[in-house]
Amino acid sequence: MTVGETDRAAPVERPGRGTLTTRTRRLFLAWGSASTAVCLALCALALRHPEILDRWDHVLQLGPDAWRAGSPWVERPLVGISYAFGTVASAVATAVVAGVLVVRRLGRAAAYVVVVMAGTSLVTSVLKHYVDLGRPVVAHPIIEYASSAMPSGHASNIAAAVTTACVLSALFLRQRARRRLVLVVGVLVSLVVGLDRLMLGVHTLTEVVAGYALGVGVGLIAAYVVDPSARVSTERVTESRGPGSR
């Protein structure tokens, strides 16, 4: 063989633009587990000692009786928000976002979105069925639900969506200002949805907090399990070898 024939190409994997370090994923797992534990603790209290949650819920009561007489115009926007962030709207938004990510060849990110949103809905439904906590009593309810109140499904869905958006923005948005904007807007939207549940009288404060905790927990744990990082790019690196190598 000649010297030129001894050159070989060896594939070397280098991380792409969006990656999660092992330390970051472990932090996600730890914080996600802690957040989920908060939700489970509130569910356990609702199941065995609901009177404790009743005392906490008296701290903030914003049901229809508190605003209907003075601001009846608020009812329509509240109902609109309720439907805009309901189960159907959440499913449609999940499908659209996942589809866009697949088109952009970010398959793992798309899988992450689907796992978080579907997983959050599933766990929420299981907890609702197991806890079976009645809805707050309202003299003239605006919206009525047959499902259990603990935890809030709207709160868990929006918290999961915001957590997903923050994780993906940390991976794929290079400008810190844009990442902060995603976080701030997400937190504000989450607060609006939670306030909507309280003002409609369909949930109490602890039910909304439990939903928030569950959504954040599932979003962070899924980031550890699925790892939504962009695919690593494989580069071909030519390694020159000396004469006589085989």
Q: What pLDDT digit, counting tens, does each position of 80-128 carry?
A: 999 999 889 999 999 999 999 999 988 999 999 999 999 999 999 999 9
pLDDT given for residue 234 in this prediction: 35
pLDDT (tens digit per residue) in 183-238: 999 999 999 999 999 999 899 999 999 999 999 999 999 999 998 886 544 333 33
28: its two tokens: 């996600």
pTM to 2 decimal places:
0.83
Count of all residues that appear for the chain in the document? 246
Residue 54 CA to residue 205 CA, distance in Å, equals: 10
d(CA 10, CA 12): 6
Determine the Cα–Cα distance for residues 223 and 113; give it in Å rounded to an integer: 9
Q: Read off the pLDDT band of 61 (50, 70, 90).
A: confident
* Cα gap 107→105, rounded to integer Å: 6
Task: Report the distance separating Cα 79 and Cα 197, nearest Å.
Answer: 10
What tokens does 151 get?
A: 């935890």
Q: Which residues pair with 11 in a beta bridge?
A: 236
Residue 25 CB partners (closer than 8 Å, separation 6+) = 223, 224, 227
Q: Which of 38-42, 59-63, 184-188 has the lowest mean pLDDT?
A: 59-63
- Has residue 18 got a pLDDT over 70? no
* pLDDT reported for residue 231: 57
Measure the CA–CA gap between 99 and 107, rounded to whole angstroms: 9
- Of 111, 116, 117, 109, the closest CA to residue 91 belongs to 117
Structure tokens at 154: 């709207």
Cα–Cα distance, 121 to 214 (Å, whole number): 10
The residue ranking higher by pLDDT, 199 or 6, is 199
Tokens of residue 201, six digits: 């009288």
How would DSSP label each residue in 107-156?
HHHHHHHHHHHHHHHHHHHHHHHHH-PPPPP-SS-SS--SS--SS-HHHH
